Structure 1
Amino acid sequence: MTADQTDPVVRTPHGAVRGRYEHGTAVFRGIPYAAPPFGPRRFRPPEPPEPWEGVRDAGAYGPTAPKPPYSEAFAQYLADPAVPGDDCLNLNVWTPDPAPGARLPVLVWLHGGALTRGSSAVPVYAGHSFARDGVVLVSVNYRLGVEGYGLFPDAPANPGLRDQLAALRWVHDSIAAFGGDPDRITLGGQSAGAISVGALIAAPQAQGLFRRAVLQSGPPEAADRDKARRMVRRMAARLKVPATAAAFADVDRALLLRTQSEVSRLGGPVLGGPSFGIVVDGDLVPRDPLEALTAGDAARGADLLMGWTSDEHRLWLAPGGLVERVDRLGAVALAGAMARCHCGHEVVRGYRALRPRAGAAEIVGQLVTDHLLRRPLHRLADARPGSSYVYEFAWPSLRPGLGACHALELGFVFDTGDVFESRMLAGDGAPQELADALHGAWVRFVTEGDPGWEPWDAAHPVRVFGDGPPRTAPGLRDAEIALWATAPASGPAPAPPVDGAPVRSADLRAVIRRLRRSGGVRGA
């Protein structure tokens, strides 16, 4: 037999593609869902790809979106392969049965990476295990950084999010040919991918394109438009060009990435600082996604699976020894977190009472995690009782200092713990039983809408995946969340004394200077 006779071939709306059979799974990589976003299309909304003649080879991952590499500190934990080429708006499909009529459930996956890094080519996201268990897995590339989320006066906002919407439409229209059921699509993502999922759940243009959603360590949110403009203006000043899309489109890509890295090198969840994000644009994002979803006027029928890791902050602080540095800064670091989170000293004292042995880094990390992540997801679950399922991933990494950190659960969700890139975070010897439990819950949710535990109600049940069998812990984080009732309703709180130590603005600037000298916190 020839390869043409043994390899799977599927026809898409733009032409036929030839994949590969791997371990009984049909895999198609690098399928374009939109035209290359360069030349006259740079900083513009995605356009359909040009149709092709014959059969296009889909055996290898397609080009990844332009992005800077991770810093050396983060690169020891996070893999981020780069595939050169312009045709970066592509996706991959893993399916157990590439035939119309199979009507299998579908999971569309949006990768994380602070909207500046990451891709569908990360080996942790391989979809073989989902296909093995009867789910069609689709992973998506989209524009990143200033190319995807820069805010310009002469171009539409959120082109990266528009890429994701275009991919979702492609899946809805095309997935039946790969054995998927367009009426059983689940949209999922982690970190920045989950934030994107939240925006798409609330987007009027995305209604009807999916049935369920998974938000891992990322809430629905909208970034501050002024902050996004400042990022562009700072880049423009360094580049010595106008802060317009037309001017940026003429800048060499490599130079643009270097400038973006220079401007955003102190960004990150703990300290804040310059960063890119999804903004309210009056069109695809007509209002803040969390406000829209908690008001109940978007995707009313969507089932939600959402949660976090116990020690999200450790991935943000552990690289470069920042846990120890923040612990040494003590009261100054806590005051910085209070200003970052718009909370008062009563909240900090409450956290300290709940964690009497915790150092400053632990308190700062949990404060920021609750402010940015857990509180919004609590709000979302409260607005959708009966159709929301909440989890906490609590298994600590076997690598020192990471605990149950941000992104650690991914190798368990995808059941890819055997690949080196999963072991970069988890270490060697992660329990397969935990992967069976977590992956199995995700498969059940995508297939049936029920991951295997009770939905959110007045008791606030949280499914905990840690050492030993999974367990349900009602009200797991309620004590911390309740402390925020004492925080100001809006606006930055003053930085009051912490345990009697007066904190001045000069002290907070010193925190930033010291962390900058130590390598800063780069978004992960």
Structure 2
Amino acid sequence: MSGPVRGRRAPGGVTALLGIPYAAPPFGPHRFRAPQPAAGWSEPRDCRDFGPIAPQSAELPGAPVWRPEDEDVLTVNVWVPSEPGGGPLPVLFWIHGGAYTFGSSAQPDFDGSALARAGMVVVSCNYRVGFEGFGHVPGFPENRGLLDQVAALRWVRENIAAFGGDPERVTVAGHSAGAGSVVCLMAMERARGLFRRAIAHSVPAAFFTVGVAAATAARIAAEAGVAPTGEGLLSASPRRLVDASDRVGGVIGDDPVTAIQAYDPVVFQPVVDGEVLPMDPLSALEAGSSGDVDLLVCHALEEYWFLHEVGAVREITSEAELTDCARDLGLPADLLDGYRALMPGAPVLDRYLALLGDAQFGEYGARLAEHHARAGGRAAAVAGEEGRPSSGGRAYLSRFARRRATPDGWTRPWHTADIPFAFGNLDADGAAFLIGGAPDEQDRALSRRMLRAWADFAASGDPGWPPITPDATPVKLWAVPADHLADDATSDVRELWRGVPLGLQRH
């Protein structure tokens, strides 16, 4: 570690050490470069508050905002049980989401206290987002945000034993863009050996080619009034690029670079550059890139209703528009007939949101888990033939299906609603909007079950239900008043997607 740290006591017998630098500030001579080592210190460093966040315009409930003078943005936070018991504890390393554009580890629903009380050392990190982390800059590495995450994981490898954690039992976990980061790390040689298990909630099928990343950067550079060159982009301040990116991403359907941007104006994604990210994660997992890693995948049943609620997706209300959408995204027309049959009487908007949610999250996540399980099965078979033990490669699938009646109707199981449950933070700032009001006792019981599954998976690789096999895809459905186990082989939605290619944002 770079020096001694001093934290604070959190409620329930947990010590929190916040804002510990794991790399140097990525500005000045380090801007747009791979993360560099943090400078050391000799006196105890006050680590009782979260560090500053990466450049962005978002203002999220209970979380800090970015200020142009903030530069020391590459920090980790650690929550440790005050009485950890015997032996080193499993480690859960959390990567926040936010469309690769915003967010931070300081969001209230990411507080690690409850997970630490369940018997883990919990670590979260800030990393570069937006143009600083994922914008294409000629002459500089792609995927700088992913490189930051690798640097933070190396910090964990080198330092977590001092906090009572086991560097051989690290589980990397994330939601949305954080989950996309998780599966990218599984595909990256630079991250090999830095974690033993992975949890991915709501993994987006969202990756750019270098060409798409360059075209997107050129639009942002033009909006910022600079040349799309390394020199030109370095001359633009972080604030200028944040504002330009917001203007480009704030327009739906205005000369999009990719087909999906006409409906969901994503601006930044990991770039399949053949170097930092050698191939897209679905292909990488199918090829067995992380055969020794256990994987737990989850998605919410109605992901895109949240994105529609917050105005992040184009609204479609006519059959003609829905037909155009399927054509633009390269989806077969019979998919629309299938959704019409599965959702009789549903408005066009609901069928559209269901289609996008399954394309971008549900079907993609299920295929990731299945590909990983099959690759692990092949590795186990080879190991058996060679008379050696095989470890890892297991994959588990779950879905967040919790609904609750409210005066305005039903609370949907939508994007992000599952995270306060898994973290045990149902009373955090902003959680009421995500979960549809104040939690009741059934919600608290569900939260305890989900939190326990994460803790057990991090400790042993077994969340409490059967893994995927070559013959079956069991799926755990998180619900109130009780969960249940289903078989994806009987899923009508999965049947619709058989043989349909994914990866819409790479076109």
TM-score normalised by the shorter chain: which range applies? 0.7 to 0.9
Taking the TM superposition and a 5 Å limit, the aligned residue runs for 1:407-426 are 407-426=416-435
Q: Structure 2 unaligned segments of length 5 or more: list them.
A: 253-259, 378-393
The amino acid that maps onto 1:205 is R
Change (3 A) 1:321 1:210: closer
The alignment status of 1:288 with 2:280, answered yes or no, reads yes
* Equivalence for 2:3: 15
| Secondary structure in structure 1 of the residue aligned to 2:451 | helix
Taking the TM superposition and a 5 Å limit, the aligned residue runs for 1:460-479 are 460-475=473-488, 478-479=491-492
Q: What is the CA–CA distance in structure 1 between the aligned matches of 2:466 and 2:327, rounded to whole Å?
A: 37
Count, aligned residues? 470
| 2:172 aligned to which of 187, 194, 214 | 187
The amino acid that maps onto 1:394 is A
Deviation for aligned residue 1:489: 9.0
Change (3 A) 1:403 1:251: same
Deviations 1:315-370 (A, max 9, x none): 111235979x53xx311331243034321221110111011132112211121122
Change (3 A) 1:316 1:99: closer
Deviations 1:89-114 (A, max 9, x none): 00100011588984100000000000
Change (3 A) 1:234 1:408: same
Verify the 8 A CA contact 1:96 1:136 in the aligned structure 2. yes
Taking the TM superposition and a 5 Å limit, the aligned residue runs for 1:2-401 are 13-23=1-11, 24-69=13-58, 80-82=63-65, 84=67, 85-97=70-82, 102-219=87-204, 222-266=207-251, 271-296=263-288, 298-320=289-311, 325-326=315-316, 329-385=317-373, 387-396=394-403, 400=408
Deviation for aligned residue 1:270: 8.2
Moved more, 363-372 or 116-125: 363-372
Deviation for aligned residue 1:269: 7.6
Q: What is the CA–CA distance in structure 2 between the aligned matches of 1:52 and 1:491, rounded to whole Å?
A: 47
Deviation for aligned residue 1:216: 0.2
Verify the 8 A CA contact 1:149 1:158 in the aligned structure 2. yes
Deviation for aligned residue 1:469: 1.4
Verify the 8 A CA contact 1:62 1:83 in the aligned structure 2. no
| Secondary structure in structure 1 of the residue aligned to 2:272 | coil
The amino acid that maps onto 2:246 is S
The amino acid that maps onto 1:316 is L
Deviation for aligned residue 1:479: 1.9
Verify the 8 A CA contact 2:296 2:369 in the aligned structure 1. no
Change (3 A) 1:223 1:188: same
Change (3 A) 1:219 1:477: farther
Q: What is the CA–CA distance in structure 2 between the aligned matches of 1:216 and 1:53, rounded to whole Å?
A: 39
Q: What is the CA–CA distance in structure 2 between the aligned matches of 1:465 and 1:490, rounded to whole Å?
A: 27
Q: What is the CA–CA distance in structure 1 between the aligned matches of 2:498 and 2:476, rounded to whole Å?
A: 25
* Equivalence for 2:255: none
Verify the 8 A CA contact 2:205 2:360 in the aligned structure 1. no
Q: What is the CA–CA distance in structure 2 between the aligned matches of 1:186 and 1:156, rounded to whole Å?
A: 26
Q: What is the CA–CA distance in structure 2 between the aligned matches of 1:56 and 1:488, rounded to whole Å?
A: 51
Verify the 8 A CA contact 1:100 1:179 in the aligned structure 2. no
| Secondary structure in structure 2 of the residue aligned to 1:313 | helix
| Secondary structure in structure 2 of the residue aligned to 1:137 | strand
The amino acid that maps onto 2:487 is P
RMSD: 2.5
Q: What is the CA–CA distance in structure 2 between the aligned matches of 1:269 and 1:181, rounded to whole Å?
A: 42
Q: What is the CA–CA distance in structure 2 between the aligned matches of 1:312 and 1:360, rounded to whole Å?
A: 16
Verify the 8 A CA contact 1:347 1:486 in the aligned structure 2. no
The amino acid that maps onto 1:312 is E
The amino acid that maps onto 1:208 is G
Verify the 8 A CA contact 1:175 1:181 in the aligned structure 2. yes
Deviation for aligned residue 1:200: 0.3
Verify the 8 A CA contact 1:231 1:274 in the aligned structure 2. no
Change (3 A) 1:243 1:365: same
Q: What is the CA–CA distance in structure 2 between the aligned matches of 1:47 and 1:188, rounded to whole Å?
A: 24
Q: What is the CA–CA distance in structure 2 between the aligned matches of 1:477 and 1:266, rounded to whole Å?
A: 40
Verify the 8 A CA contact 2:58 2:103 in the aligned structure 1. no
Verify the 8 A CA contact 1:221 1:288 in the aligned structure 2. no
Change (3 A) 1:486 1:128: closer
Q: In percent, how many aligned pairs have the same letter?
A: 37
* Equivalence for 2:257: none
Q: What is the CA–CA distance in structure 1 between the aligned matches of 2:34 and 2:468, rounded to whole Å?
A: 37
Q: What is the CA–CA distance in structure 2 between the aligned matches of 1:371 and 1:489, rounded to whole Å?
A: 7
Change (3 A) 1:322 1:280: closer
The amino acid that maps onto 2:396 is Y
Q: What is the CA–CA distance in structure 1 between the aligned matches of 2:333 and 2:277, rounded to whole Å?
A: 35
Q: What is the CA–CA distance in structure 2 between the aligned matches of 1:167 and 1:200, rounded to whole Å?
A: 12
* Equivalence for 1:443: 455
Q: What is the CA–CA distance in structure 1 between the aligned matches of 2:284 and 2:128, rounded to whole Å?
A: 25
